[in-house]
Amino acid sequence: MVLLRRVIGDTLRAQRLAQHRTLREVSTVAKVSLGYLSEVERGQKEASSELLSSICDALGVQLSEMLRDVSDTLALAEAAPVGVLEPVSDLAGLGELDRVSEPRARLSAHDVVAAA
């Protein structure tokens, strides 16, 4: 099962890392505690719409853009056969967020379609 809070957290983290920014920097600008932002990024807390808007503002991205990335990731996860795309955190790099370089391998939208 795909958890929305995990996909949102992964998407926010990918945006922050793509900008080479720290949790502390973003939490200060967003006016949210560092610990709470960390929990949101790890998918442990459900963020309110107001909080998501503040975090997106701090990251300089539109809330609608972030939610579109989340929606695209969810659509790919829902279309994939069960077990093909576990864990959900591996889906965060799909779509616009592919530009984030992380040490682990990322799936592309092509890989997801090919696996289906």
Return d(Cα 95, Cα 70) in angstroms, integer: 10
Q: What is the pLDDT of residues 49-58, one digit of tens each?
A: 999 999 999 9
Find the length of the chain.
116
Domains and CATH numbers, the chain: 4-115 (1.10.260.40)
C-alpha angle with apex 13: 105 to 85, nearest 5 degrees? 40
Q: Count Cβ atoms below 10 Å from residue 33 Cβ, excluding itself.
A: 11
Cβ-contact 100, 64 below 8 angstroms? no
Share of the chain above pLDDT 90, in %: 64
Q: What is the pLDDT of residues 5-32, one digit of tens each?
A: 999 999 999 999 999 999 999 999 999 9
pTM of the full predicted structure?
Answer: 0.70
- Give every CB contact of residue 25 below 8 A, 6+ residues apart in sequence: none
